[in-house]
Homo-oligomer: A and B are copies of this chain.
Amino acid sequence: MAHKYVYLFNEGNANMREVLGGKGANLCEMTNLGMPVPQGFIVSTEACTRYYEDGKKLSQDIIDEIDEYLGKIEEINGKKFADPEKPLLVSVRSGARASMPGMMDTILNLGINDEVAAALIKGNPDPKFERFVYDSYRRFVQMFSDVVMGISKKQFEVIIDEIKEKKGVKNDIDLDVNDMKELVVRFKAYYKEQLGTDFPTDPHDQMLESVKAVFRSWDNERAQIYRMRNDIPSSWGTAVTVMPMVFGNLNNKSGTGVAFTRNPSTGEKAIYGEYLINAQGEDVVAGVRTPSKISELEREMPEVYAQFIKTAKKLENHYKDMQDMEFTIEDGKLYMLQCRNGKRTASAALRIALDLVDERKITKEEAVCRVEPKQLDALLHPTFDAAALKKAKVVAQGLAASPGAACGRVVFTAAESEEWAARGEKVILVRLETSPDDIKGMVTAQGILTVRGGMTSHAAVVARGMGTCCVSGCGDIVMHADKKYFTIGDLRFNEGDYISLDGSTGNVYGEAIPTAPATISGDFKKFMEWADAARGDFMVRTNADNPRDTAQAVKFGAQGIGLCRTEHMFFEGDRIMAIREMIVSDTVEQRKKALAKILPLQQGDFEEMYRVLEGRPMTVRYLDPPLHEFIPKTEAEKDALAKDMGITVEKIDDICVKLEESNPMMGHRGCRLCVTFPEIAEMQTTAVINAAINVNAEHPEYNIVPEIMIPLVGSVKELKFVKDIVTATADKIIADKGVALKYKVGTMIEIPRAAITADEIAQEAEFFSFGTNDLTQMTFGFSRDDAGKFLGSYYENKIYDFDPFAKLDQEGVGKLVKMAADLGKKTRPDIHLGICGEHGGDPSSVEFCYNAGLNYVSCSPFRVPIARLAAAQAAIKAKK
């Protein structure tokens, strides 16, 4: 038997969305529920995949099957294509597995031609209807030419304008039936002029071309971008739904509308929506007439309203979720055209989930699964005013480095940011890239925009820690910071000009867009408690390097620190000087002198963080920086350093040259620093162990067990070498102080070789933390800082469906993670496993970590709630 590619609405159900698309599957479900749905058919997503496999061709078997099903719906509806008596008109819509609203164009009134138009008018002699028929006709010609055949819309608008001018009218509505007829003729003529063939009058031809157009649209640029942003694989394909037209504009007993079973903005339990009498769907969208609130339908058409409310309730109860419905009333009869789980704001999602539990419609665990983890961002960060955002224009795009919305005036230096903020201005700090010296100015800015640097650049890391909006690596910007302006293409932005940033999309807007502050309601707490209960003993920690970020993360529910990047502790204040001094040290003596300056600062930081953590664990990663991040760059910095170290600037220059590396990411960093300079590991161990002993003395109940993490390990001998330094130093301090402190030594797994030899490494490591940022770089063999030059082409050509630095590449990097987790457990069954790369805050990656048998994820403070929710959902899913 040939493969089945086409389905009637009564041949499917809601569970078949993979094959029928979401729209098609729900139409089937409504049909099965006995709801009034115009009966059509669905060309499956498999036909779409086949279309692409066949080199963008519709194979004859699919064409034959479509024709067969056309026959079936003609029979069911008692109408026939091109029939002079009862002609059938249909709509052709796309419908993918996941909702991709507005991604693909719809074709309405397919089946119309001169004869059909005449036949329609015969059935309804109202002159308004005649105008409507020809209006529909000319719209179909226009839409088919544009959407299906790719003729630009522009000339059609020109033709309309010519006719309006000739008649001396302003609006389309003022054109009469004859004008419409003229438009049909002129549109068809233009079509022939453009394509050299007559406009197709045979509805079958119109149909096949339209199906192909929908399939093609799966791959248009809008769709590609939407898929990438929403993690939808390009392999899914779209289905095509073909449905008989019903006319909301047939007469005053007709109408069309859209409604939600609950308020999608607030979650309030009340039907919410609007409709227009004597109108088609596009009239609602066009906004020429103002629609009425759905409640008014009760007054206008009480029976229809009652039927609609009953249907809506039945749908919500059936799907156990808020529904978004489209309906049309034709001559007093209600037709349901679409239903789906309604999109909603984050706060609405929370409220609806909680209410549905109260109403005993869903369980708490089901409620936990009803909120997209990423949506929580909107609760934790400022958001743009939705209406204003719609009108705003994106002028550039960078990396979505730290979520939230920000609006403010452009400043170019950290000092200006501080000054302007001090006098009450909201500012956006725009920099080529930020450095530790910029910290104060970053704190006072609403948002940070950088030209260079990736998702782990200084700007990105610091901004995420603070929860400040940041767009990084916006290469479209050409900076003229010295002259206090920057350009994007032809646009010029001066100091003081307003811009807005969306840190969740990377969009940059060249204007002010009002923002609303973050709002966490009581719903949030209750909801997250349910999530935590479902999550079980899978933990969520945070990446934090200072007491401020730590406190924030604890407030958001972090159960400890999974990654304290010790070098970041020196981003603030004058500390950078000491770390620079250490890095440029040429002799052991110089280095020890610098380390002696660092020790009390670092120990103090650890103590403060241990206090904030109140007994929660903290994994301290030893010095890791690719050195170039800390080398003094400006003359002033070099002067200061030379003075401080009592050497010449020339000497500093010499040393900096010696420190230069061809590939710093793969250079002298991580534990390699401790192998060459063991005194660094000694100092850091002293700081951690002393801090733990001191805070334990203040608060014995904390019972701190320091977790010391050696970064960038590639072989067990390397780890053992550094670990030996750590244990010798720690054991001596512990013995000297006569305390009974326990501590653990573990490693990052971020070098492919470490993952491959994890069984050996586990002989020395008490825990693994997967550093998936570096692991992704090394596994793919490209540096995040450089990948911008070619990743665009990779997305365009569908080589990658997503950014592997944002979402874990489960087939490649994930295979290494799984391998390392398994090998590690083989050697040390109780080994503690976590992840501390950016991926720790990405929902799909959290799910992967849960399933790979890890014990925890760690992410930046503002992503902690997202990780908690994602982990809870993973746990619930795994239970099933």
Contact yes or no, A715 B812, CB < 8 A: yes
Looking at the assembled complex, report how far the CB atom of A462 sits from the nearest CB atom of chain B, in whole angstroms.
19
A668 surroundings in chain B (CB, below 8 A)? 786, 789-790
A672 CA to B721 CA, complexed, in Å: 38
Looking at the assembled complex, report how far the CB atom of A772 sits from the nearest CB atom of chain B, in whole angstroms.
13
Contact yes or no, A790 B675, CB < 8 A: yes
How many interface residues does A have (CB within 8 Å)? 48
Contact of A663 among B663, B718, B780, B798 (CB under 8 A): B663
Known contacts A663-B663, A667-B789, A715-B800; decide if A675 and B794 are in contact (CB<8 Å).
yes
Contact yes or no, A676 B816, CB < 8 A: no
Please provide the chain A residues from 628 to 673 with a CB less than 8 Å away from any CB of chain B in the complex: 661-668, 672
Contact yes or no, A665 B662, CB < 8 A: yes
A367 interface hit (Cβ, 8 Å): no
A717 interface hit (Cβ, 8 Å): yes
Please provide the chain A residues from 767 to 802 with a CB less than 8 Å away from any CB of chain B in the complex: 774, 777-783, 785-786, 789-790, 793-794, 797-800
A22 surroundings in chain B (CB, below 8 A)? none
Contact yes or no, A779 B753, CB < 8 A: yes
Contact yes or no, A798 B753, CB < 8 A: no
A21 surroundings in chain B (CB, below 8 A)? none
Contact yes or no, B717 A816, CB < 8 A: no
A662 surroundings in chain B (CB, below 8 A)? 664-665, 783, 785-786
Contact yes or no, A715 B799, CB < 8 A: yes
A815 interface hit (Cβ, 8 Å): yes
A664 surroundings in chain B (CB, below 8 A)? 662-663, 786
A721 surroundings in chain B (CB, below 8 A)? 797, 799
Contact yes or no, A667 B753, CB < 8 A: no
Q: Mark A798-818, 1 if CB is under 8 A from B, else 0.
A: 111000000001011101100
A752 interface hit (Cβ, 8 Å): yes
Contact yes or no, A666 B815, CB < 8 A: no
Looking at the assembled complex, report how far the CB atom of A582 sits from the nearest CB atom of chain B, in whole angstroms.
16
A815 CA to B753 CA, complexed, in Å: 9
Number of copies: 2
Contact yes or no, B774 A753, CB < 8 A: no
Q: Mark A258-293, 1 if CB is under 8 A from B, else 0.
A: 000000000000000000000000000000000000
A106 surroundings in chain B (CB, below 8 A)? none
A782 surroundings in chain B (CB, below 8 A)? 666-667, 672, 714
Q: Mark A721-764, 1 if CB is under 8 A from B, else 0.
A: 10000000000000000000000000000111100110010000
A107 interface hit (Cβ, 8 Å): no
Contact yes or no, A672 B757, CB < 8 A: no
A368 interface hit (Cβ, 8 Å): no
A712 interface hit (Cβ, 8 Å): yes
A815 surroundings in chain B (CB, below 8 A)? 756-757
A783 CA to B778 CA, complexed, in Å: 11
Contact yes or no, A714 B676, CB < 8 A: no
Contact yes or no, A666 B667, CB < 8 A: no
Contact yes or no, A783 B813, CB < 8 A: no
Contact yes or no, A667 B752, CB < 8 A: no
Looking at the assembled complex, report how far the CB atom of A650 sits from the nearest CB atom of chain B, in whole angstroms.
15
Q: Mark A684-728, 1 if CB is under 8 A from B, else 0.
A: 000000000000000000000000000010110110010000000
Looking at the assembled complex, report how far the CB atom of A26 sits from the nearest CB atom of chain B, in whole angstroms.
32
Contact yes or no, B667 A665, CB < 8 A: no
Contact yes or no, B752 A790, CB < 8 A: no
A797 surroundings in chain B (CB, below 8 A)? 675, 721
Contact yes or no, B717 A798, CB < 8 A: yes
In this complex, the member of A664, A777, A781 whose beta carbon has the largest number of chain B beta carbons within 10 angstroms is A781
Contact of A793 among B676, B757, B774 (CB under 8 A): B676
Contact of A812 among B663, B665, B756, B799 (CB under 8 A): B756
Contact yes or no, A799 B717, CB < 8 A: yes
Contact yes or no, A712 B665, CB < 8 A: no
A20 CA to B661 CA, complexed, in Å: 47
A8 CA to B879 CA, complexed, in Å: 66
> Nearest CB to that of A789 among chain B residues?
B668
A663 surroundings in chain B (CB, below 8 A)? 663-666, 783, 785-786
A778 CA to B714 CA, complexed, in Å: 11
Looking at the assembled complex, report how far the CB atom of A678 sits from the nearest CB atom of chain B, in whole angstroms.
9
A496 CA to B476 CA, complexed, in Å: 53
Known contacts A662-B665, A666-B665; decide if A781 and B714 are in contact (CB<8 Å).
yes
A667 surroundings in chain B (CB, below 8 A)? 782-783, 786, 789
Give 5 new A-B contacts, CB below 8 A, not counting A753-B781, A778-B781: A668-B790, A717-B800, A752-B779, A752-B781, A753-B780
For the complex of A and B, 6 pairs with smallest distance between CB atoms: A663-B783, A666-B783, A751-B781, A667-B786, A662-B785, A753-B812
20 A–B pairs (Cβ distance < 8 Å), ordered by A: A662-B664, A663-B665, A666-B777, A667-B789, A672-B790, A675-B794, A676-B790, A714-B782, A715-B799, A715-B800, A717-B800, A721-B797, A751-B779, A751-B780, A752-B778, A752-B779, A752-B812, A753-B779, A760-B811, A778-B779
A residues in contact (CB < 8 Å) with B: 661-668, 672, 675-676, 712, 714-715, 717-718, 721, 750-753, 756-757, 760, 774, 777-783, 785-786, 789-790, 793-794, 797-800, 809, 811-813, 815-816
